[in-house]
Structure 1
Amino acid sequence: MREAAVNVDEKLAVDKFEVDEGNPHIVLREEPDPAAFDKLVLCCPAGLYRRDEEGSPSFDCAGCLECGTCRLLCGDALLEKWEFPQGGMGVSYRYG
C-alpha cells in the first residue's frame, strides 16, 4: 500500500489571504493565560501563535485559516475577540 505524502506548506502557499489591517478578526487579551497560549503554539494549524527566543508570546492573525481552533481550545482565557473576517477578507482556499 502506498503512503500519501502531503506537504502542508505547499498546500497553504496556494491559498489567498486578504488581511483587514484596520480590523483584525482575532484580538488577544492584554495578558493572555500562558498555558492557553502554549496550547495554541502546539495546535494552531497555521502556526500563528509563537514564542520568541526569550519566551515572549507573539501572534499575527494574517495567515489565519479561520478554523476556530483557538476559539475552541482557549476561548476567554486567551481571546478578547474572535469573529469571522468581514466579507471579502480572510482566507480563500485555492486548491483541494
Structure 2
Amino acid sequence: MSDRSAPYHISSAVIVTMPHMRERVVGSLLEMPNVEVYAHEAGKIVVVIEGTSTGMLGESLSRISTLEGVVAANMVFEHVETQGEVGHDRRTDAA
C-alpha cells in the first residue's frame, strides 16, 4: 500500500532536437517510463515527466539529454502534489 501523503512530482520540459532527428527522439521518449510526449513540431518536443522526487525527474531529464539528436533538454515547470491528490480533476488556477 502506498503512502497517500507522499509527494508526487510532475514537470514539463522542452526538448530541442536536430529537426531531421525529431521523429527518432519522439520514438525513444515514447519508450521511457514516466515520460509522456505532449506535443512536437519542427525541432521541438514538449514532454511531461512524473515521479516520486525531484531527483527522479532530473534523472529522466538527464537520460533524455543524452539521446542521439537531442540538442537541449530543459525543465520548464515542476509541481508537487501528494499521492492522494494525483488523478483528481480539480482546477488550481484562477478562473
What is the TM-score of this pair, normalised by structure 2? 0.41
Report which of the two has the higher share of strand.
2
